[in-house]
Structure 1
Amino acid sequence: MKLRVHGIDDGQPIPETFAFGVYNEQDHMSFGPNRNPELTWEDAPEGTRSFVVLMFDPDVPSVADDVNQEGRVVPRDLPRVDFFHWVLVDIPASVNRIPEGEDSDGVRPKGKAPGPGPIGVRGVNNYTQFLAGNPDMAGTYAGYDGPCPPWNDERLHHYHFEVHALDVDSLGLSGEFDGHDVREAMKGHVLASARVTGTYTLNPDLR
């Protein structure tokens, strides 16, 4: 199976069009256009009954004490965890394209609701947890919300866009399910997968 993420070449920087946060010299970061990129895929195997789309960053600090703190850095060798930016399941087998901006167009304070969306069923991304302590932003963030890595992180962040062809019509997930729930539910049902990886940073020393 082949996946194309329009506007993002494998291994290359992600354009700010698709970012939740963009570099700002005065304040380190400001909100970006936060549009989901267009995805197209082909050559799904026979027997495919639905698709899953995931996008995640495996370079997120496991400890947030130094994140975005003046006079500190997030060290390159700090252990990292997965941060899901896009969780979309139960995409019909007849679909092989998600248009740009279809699942996200702009930063929406307090997030978007999970459940049936324009295409498929939205799960919850990790901005739900990351912004929980911010009274202006706290809420449930579902569907796509793009890159916004710590501006003081010594590590370049990588963003894996994945599409998975499944042998079931639905994973049977509902409510505020997340990327880990999807990975567990997919076990034994994946017929084929494809991935494109982009990079992004807000650290001026890495840009």
Structure 2
Amino acid sequence: MRITVEGISEGQPIPGQFAFAVPHAQDHMALSDNRNPRVTWDGVPEGTRSFAVVVVDPDVPSDASNVNQEGKTLAEEMPRVDFYHWLLVDIPAEVREIAEGEDSDGVTPRGKSTGRVEKGVRGANDYTDFMAGDPDMKGVYGGYDGPCPPWNDERLHHYTFTVYALDVTSLGLDGDFRGGDVMKAMEGHILDRASVTGTYTLKANV
């Protein structure tokens, strides 16, 4: 299989319009366009019955105590965990494209709905947990929300966009399912996959 994420090249910075936040000189960061990029794929294996699109950042600090704290930095070598930015499953076998802005167009305070949309079923991304302590932003964040790494993080973050070709029409997931649920449900059903990884940071000189 082959995947194309328009505007994102392997190992290169992700454009700001696809991010949740962009750098800001006075406030460290400002909310951005938060549009999902256009994703297309081809070279689909025989027997494909559905697709899943997953975006994950493996560089998120495991301890959030000092995230975005004045006078503190997050060391590059500190332990890291996966953070899921996009979960779209049960995409019909005939689909080959998610258009730019189709699953996210702007930051939506308190999140977006999970469940069925035109081209699949949305899961809950990890902003659901990250925003839980903010009374103005807390909620369930369905579908795509783009990069917003800590502005005091010394590590460059990597965002891997992957499309999976699956041998089932549905993964049987519903409600506010999460990244781990998707990865477990796909076990034994992946016919092929294709990925591209872009980078992002809000910290100068990283």
TM-score range, shorter chain: over 0.9
The answer on whether the counterparts of 1:115 and 1:175 sit within 8 Å (CA) in structure 2 is: yes
Are residues 1:22 and 2:9 paired?
no
| Structure 1 residue 127 displacement after superposition | 0.2
How many residues in Structure 1 have an aligned counterpart in Structure 2? 206
Partner of 1:151: 151
Partner of 1:98: 98
TM-score between both structures, scaled by the size of structure 2? 0.99
The answer on whether the counterparts of 1:33 and 1:105 sit within 8 Å (CA) in structure 2 is: yes
Partner of 1:167: 167
Give, in whole Å, the separation in 1 of the partners of 2:56 and 2:20.
Answer: 14
Partner of 2:44: 44
| Structure 1 residue 68 displacement after superposition | 0.3
Are residues 1:75 and 2:75 paired?
yes
The answer on whether the counterparts of 1:103 and 1:118 sit within 8 Å (CA) in structure 2 is: no
Moved over 2 A (4+): none
**Amino acid aligned to 1:142:** G
Within-5 A mapping of 1:1-207:
1-206=1-206
The answer on whether the counterparts of 1:102 and 1:118 sit within 8 Å (CA) in structure 2 is: no
SS in 2 for 1:173: coil
How many percent of aligned residue pairs carry the same amino acid? 63
Give, in whole Å, the separation in 1 of the partners of 2:199 and 2:117.
Answer: 27
Query: CA RMSD for the aligned pairs?
Result: 0.5
TM-score between both structures, scaled by the size of structure 1? 0.99
